[in-house]
């Protein structure tokens, strides 16, 4: 026998219950985001490499080290999307959508690809739920999208999460702050920084602030932060976003060291982080990116958006969302097989979910199967039950067993 072929490192197969969790996330996202006017957009998984180099930024980790890039048979450099935003912007520009609508709201979801070191909550093929609101420049749009995100998270059962927000300034105040940060960083003992920070110091100094290496964090703990150096317009924008969140009861906290890993952000940025899923705790990241559409060759349309990692959300979902089967039919004698088949179908036609055993087996084995399936009730059928037109109903949670007439079984599932 030849060796079985294994899956690619960092790429996962998704069985139950994760596949059910994904369906639940997609459906809830579509429903909640729809309430706010988002419509679904599906963009290709492959794009021209240039789109990400220009959109995300040449100096970002994503573009420098993490993209799946290869030439196609015609010699064009293509990249499997590492995120959805750049592709949504390309589609928006290509469709000329700005001409017909002053506000466009897109929801997109699907697989993204980043060549990162796989670990818990970090894959090379992962999935995002992604929303982009294009058109409005007002702080109300920022507050609305953050409120919508928290509405969605609460709808999927994640009530205890708080959004962290920050402002990254704009093209007026950020260059001045960047210079201040560079001047401050010039005094750092470069040899004590991690290799990434040594590079970032010169190419992308803001990212010094969100390095996860403890030694780097200690060295940069007194670094100046953007929020203390934003211009009056950016400050007013930020304050208005915070005030609107307060008015709507959305829990938020300032994280002045949040800089985000993609270069297109300006002004409001936000993340939702959970401490329940290990070191890869960011479940959502997003922010405003006025200027991105223009940089990609489109009209000067501002925008704001976010993406949530579906694998990470799935890890946090309460078990109750995974619908349990209503029944399992245990057939303990061959004589009951036809009756069991008929009963299973009758229950399914009545909207109940469940399975049956296809051969008569010992009771102990059948119970094991019923509890493995996590069925609510086990319906036990033997020759005697068939003769009497009855069934034994075992409640799998309480262990209680009752006899019922076959014709009367539906009421046990109410
Ligand atoms: P991001 O912060 O790079 O932002 O990713 C968003 C979310 O995707 C993260 O918070 C995380 O939950 C998930 N994620 C990222 N990388 C991985 C991975 N390797 N494995 C598992 N999950 C991962 C963006 O992608 C932006 N495009 C978000 C955005 C939309 N900003 C504006 N619009």
Express each pLDDT in 316-353 by its tens digit.
998 777 778 999 999 999 999 999 999 999 999 999 99
pTM recorded for the entire structure: 0.90
Dihedral pair phi/psi, residue 411, rounded to 5°: -65, -20
Ligand 1 pocket member 136 (CB < 6 A): no
If we measure between CA atoms, which residue out of 406, 404, 392 comes closest to residue 347?
A: 406
In CATH terms, the fold of domain 324-413 is Rossmann fold (3.40.50)
Domain(s) labelled CATH 3.40.50.800 in the chain stretch across: 324-413
Res 303: pLDDT:
98
Task: Report CA(21)–ligand 1 centroid distance (Å).
Answer: 18
Nearest-CA neighbor of 269 among 247, 241, 297? 241
Task: Give the integer Cα–Cα distance in Å for 303 and 13.
Answer: 34
User: Would you tell me how many other CB atoms lie within 10 Å of the CB of residue 304?
Assistant: 28
Distance 409 CA to ligand 1 centre (A): 48
Q: What is the pLDDT of residues 260-298, one digit of tens each?
A: 989 899 999 999 999 888 888 899 999 999 999 999 999
Q: Is any atom of ligand 1 closer than 6 Å to the C-beta of 158?
A: no
User: Do 118 and 222 contact (CB within 8 A), yes or no?
Assistant: no
Q: Which atom of ligand 1 is nearest to the CA of 262?
A: 3
Q: Establish whether residue 127 lines the binding site of ligand 1, counting it when its CB lies within 6 angstroms of any ligand atom.
A: no
Whether residue 285 has its Cβ less than 6 Å from ligand 1: yes
Determine the residue of 307, 310, 311 to mutate for testing ligand 1's pocket, defined as the one with the most ligand atoms within 8 A of the Cβ atom. 307
Could you say which DSSP state residue 268 is in?
A: E
Atom of ligand 1 nearest to the CA of 285: 2
Q: Give the CATH fold of the 18-173+230-319 domain.
A: BirA Bifunctional Protein; domain 2 (3.30.930)
Cβ of 305 closer than 6 Å to ligand 1, yes or no, is yes
- The number of beta carbons lying within 10 Å of the beta carbon of residue 49 is 17
* Ligand 1 within 6 A of CB of 306: yes
| CA–centroid distance, residue 136 to ligand 1 (Å) | 23
How far, in Å, is the centroid of ligand 1 from the Cα of 285?
6
Q: pLDDT tier at 84 (50, 70, 90 boundaries)?
A: very high
CA of 129 to the centre of ligand 1 (A): 9
pLDDT in tens, 119-167: 999 999 999 999 999 999 999 999 999 999 999 999 999 988 999 999 9
Helix, strand, coil percentages in the chain from 3-state DSSP, rounded to 5: 40, 20, 35
Q: What is the pLDDT of residue 396?
A: 95
Q: Is the CB of 132 under 6 A from ligand 1?
A: yes
Where does the chain hold its CATH 3.30.930.10 domain(s)?
Answer: 18-173+230-319
């Amino acid at each position: 026998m030849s060796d079985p072929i294994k899956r690619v490192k960092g790429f996962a197969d998704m069985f139950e219950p994760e596949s059910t969790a994904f369906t639940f996330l997609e459906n809830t996202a579509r429903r909640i985001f729809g309430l706010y006017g988002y419509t679904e957009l599906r963009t290709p998984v492959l794009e021209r490499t240039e789109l990400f180099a220009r959109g995300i930024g040449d100096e970002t980790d994503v573009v420098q080290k993490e993209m799946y890039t290869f030439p196609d048979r015609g010699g064009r450099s293509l990249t499997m999307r590492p995120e959805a935003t750049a592709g949504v912007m390309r589609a928006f520009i290509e469709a000329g959508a700005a001409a017909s609508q002053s506000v466009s709201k897109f929801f997109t979801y699907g697989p993204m690809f980043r060549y990162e070191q796989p670990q818990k909550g970090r894959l090379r093929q992962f999935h995002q739920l992604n929303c982009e609101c294009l058109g409005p420049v007002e702080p109300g749009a920022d507050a609305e999208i953050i409120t919508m995100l928290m509405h969605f998270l609460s709808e999927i059962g994640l009530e205890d999460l708080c959004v962290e927000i920050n402002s990254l300034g704009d093209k007026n105040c950020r260059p001045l702050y960047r210079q201040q940060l560079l001047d401050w960083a010039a005094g750092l003992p470069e040899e004590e920084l991690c290799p990434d920070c040594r590079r970032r110091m010169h190419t992308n100094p803001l990212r010094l602030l969100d390095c996860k290496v403890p030694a780097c964090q200690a060295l940069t703990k007194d670094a100046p932060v953007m929020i203390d150096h934003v211009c009056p317009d950016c400050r007013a924008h930020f304050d208005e976003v915070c005030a609107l969140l307060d008015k709507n009861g959305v829990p938020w906290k300032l994280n002045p060291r949040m800089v985000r890993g993609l270069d297109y952000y300006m002004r409001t940025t936000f993340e939702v982080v959970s401490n329940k899923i290990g070191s890869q705790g960011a479940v959502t990241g997003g922010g405003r990116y006025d200027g991105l559409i223009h940089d990609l060759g489109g009209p000067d349309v501002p925008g704001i958006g976010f993406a949530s990692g579906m694998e990470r959300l799935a890890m946090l979902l309460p078990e109750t969302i995974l619908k349990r089967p209503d029944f399992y039919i245990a057939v303990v004698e061959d004589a009951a097989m036809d009756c069991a088949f008929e009963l299973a179908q009758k229950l399914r036609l009545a909207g109940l979910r469940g399975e049956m055993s296809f051969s008569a087996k010992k009771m102990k084995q059948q119970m094991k199967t019923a509890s493995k399936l996590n069925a609510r009730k086990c319906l036990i059928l033997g020759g005697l039950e068939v003769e009497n037109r009855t069934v034994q109903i075992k409640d799998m949670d309480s262990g209680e067993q009752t006899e019922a007439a076959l014709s009367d079984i539906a009421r046990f599932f109410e």
